[in-house]
Chain A
Amino acid sequence: MNWKENVNRFKSIVNPIAPPKIFHWQTLLLMSIVIWGISFTAAEKDLQNSLAVIGLILLTISIGWRTSQPPFILSGVLLAPWITGTLVCLLIFQQTGANGADIAIKSWPFVCGFLIVLFELMKAQFESSSSPQIDRPNLIILLLIHILLTCWLEFYLLVFQWVEANPNLVPKTSQPTQAWVAPDAIKTFADGKLN
Chain B
Amino acid sequence: MIEIPTVPIILASRTILSRFLRVFVSMTIEARILRDGMYLSPKKSVEYATVINLFAEIFAWFTFFFLESVLPEASNNRLIRYLLLQKVDGVDGTVFIITVWYFLLFLVLKWSGLEIYRLITASQKVQESTSKDPNDHWSYRLKMVIRAHTVSYIVGLVIMILHLTEWN
Partners in one complex: yes
Contact B80 A166 (CB under 8 A): yes
The A/B interface has a contact count, at CB < 8 Å, of: 67
Complex interface: chain A residues within 8 A of B85 (CB):
169, 171
Docked CA distance A147–B60 (Å) = 12
- Chain B residues with Cβ below 8 Å from A171 are 7, 85
- On whether the beta carbons of A162 and B80 are closer than 8 Å, the reply is yes
Interchain nearest-CB distance for B115 vs A (Å): 13
Interface string of A137-164 (1 = CB under 8 A from B): 1001100110110011011101110110
Interface residues contributed by chain A, number (CB under 8 Å): 22
Chain B interface size, under 10 / 10 to 19 / 20 to 34 / 35 or more: 20 to 34
Tell me, in angstroms, the Cα distance from A147 to B57 when the chains sit together: 10
Residue B168, interface by CB 8 Å: no
- Whether A169 and B61, one on each chain, are in contact in the complex, defined by CB atoms closer than 8 angstroms, is no
Secondary structure of the B side of the interface?
helix
Confirm or deny: B136 has a beta carbon within 8 angstroms of a beta carbon on chain A: no
- B67 at the binding interface (Cβ < 8 Å): no
User: When chains A and B are docked, how far (Å) is the Cα of A71 from the Cα of B75?
Assistant: 53
Instruction: For chain A, residues 160 to 191, give those with C-beta under 8 angstroms from any C-beta of chain B.
Output: 160, 162-163, 166, 169-171
Of B16, B55, B77, the residue contacting A155 (CB under 8 A) is B16
Identify the B interface with A (CB < 8 A): 5, 7-9, 11-12, 15-16, 47, 50-51, 54-55, 57-58, 61-62, 65, 68, 77, 80-81, 84-85, 117, 120-121, 124
Known: A151-B62, A162-B80. 15 other contacts (CB 8 A): A136-B124, A140-B51, A144-B51, A151-B57, A151-B61, A154-B65, A155-B12, A156-B9, A159-B8, A160-B5, A160-B8, A162-B8, A163-B8, A163-B11, A171-B85
